[in-house]
Amino acid sequence: MDLLLFVLLLVAPAHSWLSLEDWGSGNVEGSVGEFGQCVCNVFLPDTSFPADRMEYMQITSNQLSVNVKLQINKISSLKVQLDVLLSSLSNLTARVEILESGPDKYIKLDFELLRIELREFEVLVTQLKASLNSSSPAFESLYTEIRNMSLIVDQLENYDRSNLEVIRIEFAKLQRKLEKCQDDQDDFSNAEIGTCKHGGILRIGKPIINQLNADLSASYKYGGWGKDSKPLPGSENMYWYSGYSDTLVSRITQYSDYYNLIMRQAFRTHELYVYNRYDWRGTGNNYVVRENTLYYQYRSPFAMGKFNMTSATPTYKVIPKASAQFSYHYSANQNLDFAADESGLWITYVTEESNGTLVLGKINEQSFEIKEVWQTSVFKQSVTNAFMICGVLYVTRSVDTETEEIFYTYDTNKNKESYVSIPFEKFQDFYVYLDYNPTDQRIYMFNNGYYVYYNIKFKVV
Ligand SMILES: *[C@@H]1O[C@H](CO)[C@@H](O)[C@H](O)[C@H]1NC(C)=O
Ligand SMILES: *[C@@H]1O[C@H](CO)[C@@H](O)[C@H](O)[C@H]1NC(C)=O
Ligand SMILES: *[C@@H]1O[C@H](CO)[C@@H](O)[C@H](O)[C@H]1NC(C)=O
Ligand SMILES: *[C@@H]1O[C@H](CO)[C@@H](O)[C@H](O)[C@H]1NC(C)=O
Ligand SMILES: *[C@@H]1O[C@H](CO)[C@@H](O)[C@H](O)[C@H]1NC(C)=O
């Protein structure tokens, strides 16, 4: 897919459809959205359009058509994934340099690949259009762009090196503009990272959809993704992903940085199950990664599990009173939910005595034991998920297929519970994983197989 991006960017300087031209440095303000997020008027087919997703769209009819529409809306509302663009840009720049210096046969090869990608993409858009019965202008223009790009690839092939130099300079300009836009987006959180000098969540930004999971499988609806909540030195940029077609947790994959996550180039995959050798599998997808260790619900025995990805060793500890009967609303087997925040590692679950209401525990990471518990008054079965920020438990429920709501908080600093209403938008209805990460103050969601995250606006105190 980055070949495709390559073409788009090559075309950018010559054609105004990529309205980056308009982003004079004074103009960036104008493209900042409702919550201060960067709204970039770039129409760019990217990795959110892989062919497998096409397949998925065609398989089922009605429900899928709704999902697809939702997805297309996201895409055609032109909320471009700056992160993806940025990481691709540096790769693309490097590739143009290679083109510049490389022997002709490599250039030819690259253009041939570009053509193939474009053709595939053309087919894809045609199919998408047909399956949606959509006459959206965004589609029409996308279609035209692809046709145009094919022409331009042909022309480019005959260009000489000086033209490539021009393109390289345009890349550099683009990159600076995107970085500026990126900075604006990153300014979204209004609290200093690592501190708790805020009054909790004021609101949650729009879902930022990265892409389909690394297994490229729309049936992998059960999973999670994110960053280490307390990274070891040198692993600050690391991302992890785990996914499967049912609630079993049998594998976790690590990526050195965001670029490699998007490119699906893992540096390590840990199998938690090898037939006839060992079975360290978990279940429920409510894990967190911390100090390069996966904390998860161990399947057998039912316990808190801990898989140290540095030493590749598992341990577990049974919580004597925890019940395996109560799960969250969307999925089975979500009995133990781990969370990490500025103050450490947490777990929520239900006990026999709590009559189905959530219990929150603080974990001592050294001894891997629950050292303190708080009893909440929310019934787990109405809950869709929960996460922690600065010692405050945030509990969510589903409002409708497009909306989720934080409806309850428990502040362990004040031993105070509150019923609240902080709605936020979902990309797709179903999700199994929702966790805050204190290192970037984002909320990560695994949303029906897609990587999604949210920025947060905090209350000022
Ligand atoms: C860019 O990414 C591609 C595909 O992921 C990779 O094969 C290639 O080596 C990268 N190019 C550079 C110059 O980093
Ligand atoms: C597409 O939409 C048009 C107008 O709404 C309708 O007349 C046509 O039958 C639809 N076609 C398909 C294949 O659903
Ligand atoms: C596509 O190319 C045609 C012919 O070269 C041109 O008229 C048109 O403006 C281009 N479309 C876009 C959206 O760039
Ligand atoms: C993981 O294992 C490494 C190597 O044995 C050890 O140094 C580290 O403390 C362990 N991490 C956790 C969180 O237990
Ligand atoms: C659960 O129900 C029992 C019996 O009705 C009651 O004594 C107990 O206080 C309840 N526990 C909680 C946490 O509500």
pLDDT of residue 164: 55
Domain co-membership, 171 together with 195: no
Average pLDDT, consecutive stretches of 10 residues, N- to C-terminus, the chain (461 residues): 30 30 31 42 36 39 45 40 43 57 50 54 54 53 59 56 54 52 51 91 84 86 97 96 96 92 90 97 97 98 98 96 94 97 97 94 97 96 96 97 96 97 93 97 94 90 84
CATH number at residue 436: 2.115.10
Decide: helix, strand or coil at residue 118: helix
Decide: helix, strand or coil at residue 189: coil
pLDDT of residue 191: 84
Query: What 8-state DSSP symbol labels residue 66?
Result: H
CB 241 within 8 Å of CB 252: yes
CB 428 within 8 Å of CB 209: no
Q: Omega before 45 cis (within 30°)?
A: no
Total count of domains within the chain: 4
pLDDT of residue 352: 87
Whether 147 maps to a domain, the answer reads yes
Domain co-membership, 276 together with 208: yes
Residue 127 CA to ligand 2 center (angstroms) comes to 15
State the ligand closest to the CA atom of 129: 2
| Strand extents, DSSP E, 136-250 | 201-204, 208-212, 222-227, 239-244, 248-249
For residue 106, how many other CB atoms are within 10 A of its CB?
12
pLDDT of residue 433: 98
Whether 349 maps to a domain, the answer reads yes
For ligand 1, atom 14, the nearest C-alpha belongs to 91
Residues with CB under 6 A from ligand 3: 15, 17, 141, 144-145, 148
Domain co-membership, 336 together with 447: yes
Domain co-membership, 144 together with 268: no
Residue finishing a domain among 165, 185, 205: 185
Chain-centroid distance, C-alpha 308 = 23
State the ligand closest to the CA atom of 229: 4
Q: How far apart are CA 232 and CA 254, in angstroms?
A: 14
Whether 139 maps to a domain, the answer reads yes
Domain co-membership, 274 together with 159: no
The torsion region of residue 44 among left (phi > 0), alpha (psi -120 to 50) and beta comes to beta
Q: How far apart are CA 181 and CA 82, in angstroms?
A: 8
Paired residues of 435 in beta bridges: 444
Whether 47 maps to a domain, the answer reads no
Residue finishing a domain among 185, 200, 235: 185
Domain co-membership, 113 together with 91: no
Whether 56 maps to a domain, the answer reads no
Q: How far apart are CA 157 and CA 411, in angstroms?
A: 62
Residue finishing a domain among 185, 204, 222: 185
Paired residues of 238 in beta bridges: none
Domain co-membership, 68 together with 121: no
Provide the residue range defining the domain that includes 23. 2-42
Whether 49 maps to a domain, the answer reads no
Q: What is the number of helices (H) and of strands (E) in the chain?
A: 8, 25
Decide: helix, strand or coil at residue 62: helix
Whether 289 maps to a domain, the answer reads yes
Tokens at residue 355, please? 């009559």
Provide the residue type at 140 as one letter. E
Ligand 1 pocket residue status of 404, Cβ below 6 Å: no
Domain co-membership, 294 together with 418: yes
Domain co-membership, 292 together with 241: yes
Q: How far apart are CA 321 and CA 275, in angstroms?
A: 31
Whether 304 maps to a domain, the answer reads yes
End-to-end CA distance of the chain: 45
Domain co-membership, 126 together with 261: no
To test the ligand 3 pocket, which listed residue (15, 18, 21) has its Cβ within 8 A of the most ligand atoms? 15
Atom of ligand 3 nearest to the CA of 16: 14
Domain co-membership, 154 together with 248: no
Q: How far apart are CA 147 and CA 227, in angstroms?
A: 39
Tokens at residue 11, please? 């075309």
Phi, psi of 215 (to 5 degrees): -80, -5
For ligand 5, atom 5, the nearest C-alpha belongs to 355
Domain co-membership, 321 together with 334: yes
Of 345, 427, 389, the closest CA to residue 202 belongs to 389
- DSSP string computed for 430-448: ---EEEEETTTTEEEEEET
Q: What contacts 14, CB < 8 A, 6 or more positions away?
A: 152
Distances (CA, A) of 25 to 243, 356, 357: 41, 55, 53
CB 227 within 8 Å of CB 270: no
